[in-house]
Amino acid sequence: METFLKIENVSKTFERKKALNDVSFEVAKGEIFGLLGPNGAGKTTLIRIINRIISPDSGIVTFNGKSLSPDNLSEIGYLPEERGLYRKMKVGEQILFFARLKGLNSSQAKEAADFWMKRLKIHSWYNDKVETLSKGMQQKIQFIITVLHKPKLLIFDEPFTGFDPINVDLIKNQILWLKEQGTTIIFSTHNMPSVEEICDRIVLINKGKNILEGELTEVKNRFFSHIYEVELDKDCDISSFDSIEILEKEENKNKLRIKIKILEGKKIELIKMLAEKGNLVSFNPVVPKLHDIFVETVGENQKIEDNE
């Protein structure tokens, strides 16, 4: 893993409130990294530190192998949760205005604006005023402003807010395309299904501390509790198998669907028995959802905090 952004022992306090407490993690070059946590966890504070809006009290932020500096700001694109557009300006004028602010010359700005407006299917809005657009459509303008200068690092904070399902898929595909181009992306959201769809690795922050980190598949495997969904012939009886706990049971025509928990190490034995009897139709693990992992981990962390 080639590290692009490194957060090392970063802490920040506001009026005796510890917003970040010795947070450390690394974001690999060219990956989509999920920055997760409940409200008030410290995510926004950390994002502001990366954007040099505020400075940490202690700790180091390394950007592409060097200490983060003002020179890196032109290499970062930030889409905040709270959007900000000039509502009286025309769409095209606004995009060109921000492009010039981000260092593009006139021809580069025009080329980038045309490219992204076509990709997001909004080129016909070029002369429309921002105030005439819906919230979701304004989101597209904000997205373009964030990415048009080809930053090496993109930070998206709740990028799908206000979008209908069609436009969620459109923006999601643009984010994945940007990853294919080699862009490193930090993705912050409370929408766990979206994280599962597009993130490579995650960090979960609660009360200013990172409490869970890892590659998404590995994290899910870590929380796997040996629960399986099994489909059998209706006449099959597995109640005599003493290494399982039947959690759910549903009969449907000639099939029996059950959810079971198997004693660790007994899966192969059960599959062999069912296969030999000719009763097994399907046997699939129940992979834990990130939503449940989030709730469980934050809840356990809260209990630890309360007992300290």
User: In sequence order, what are the beta bridge partners of 79?
Assistant: 156
Alpha carbon distance 10, 18 (integer Å): 11
DSSP 236-301: ---TT-TTEEEEEEEEETTEEEEEEEE-TT-HHHHHHHHHHHT-EEEEEE-PPPHHHHHHHHHHHH
The average pLDDT across 217-224 equals 93
Give residue 307's pLDDT band: very low, low, confident or very high (50, 70, 90): low
Sheet of 66-67, strand order: 17-28, 3-14, 58-63, 66-67
* pTM score of the predicted model: 0.90
Using the predicted structure, report yes or no on whether residue 294 has a pLDDT greater than 90. yes
- 50 HSE (CA, 13 A, CB side): 32
For residue 45, what are the contacts with CB-CB under 8 A and spacing of at least 6?
Answer: 12, 19, 20, 54
Using the predicted structure, report yes or no on whether residue 88 has a pLDDT greater than 90. no
Give residue 166's pLDDT band: very low, low, confident or very high (50, 70, 90): very high
Alpha carbon distance 65, 43 (integer Å): 22
Task: Give me the domains of the chain, ranges plus CATH numbers.
Answer: 3-85+148-221 (3.40.50.300), 225-285 (3.30.70)
The average pLDDT across 256-267 equals 82
Alpha carbon distance 10, 49 (integer Å): 9
Using the predicted structure, report yes or no on whether residue 56 has a pLDDT greater than 60. yes
> Is the pLDDT higher at 197 or at 235?
197
Give residue 308's pLDDT band: very low, low, confident or very high (50, 70, 90): low
Averaged pLDDT score across all residues of the chain: 90
CB atoms within 10 A of CB 111: 14
Span 22-38, pLDDT tens digits: 999 999 999 999 999 99
Sheet of 209-215, strand order: 76-79, 153-157, 184-188, 32-36, 201-206, 209-215
Write down the pLDDT at residue 282: 85
Write down the pLDDT at residue 295: 94
Give residue 177's pLDDT band: very low, low, confident or very high (50, 70, 90): very high
> Is the pLDDT higher at 87 or at 152?
152
Alpha carbon distance 44, 223 (integer Å): 27
Write down the pLDDT at residue 241: 73
Give residue 246's pLDDT band: very low, low, confident or very high (50, 70, 90): confident
How remote is the C-alpha of 129 from its chain's centroid? 32
Q: Which of 16-20, 91-95, 148-152, 280-284 has the lowest mean pLDDT?
A: 280-284
Find the Cα–Cα–Cα–Cα dihedral 108, 185, 60, 25, rounded to 10°.
-170
Alpha carbon distance 293, 21 (integer Å): 22
Using the predicted structure, report yes or no on whether residue 238 has a pLDDT greater than 80. no
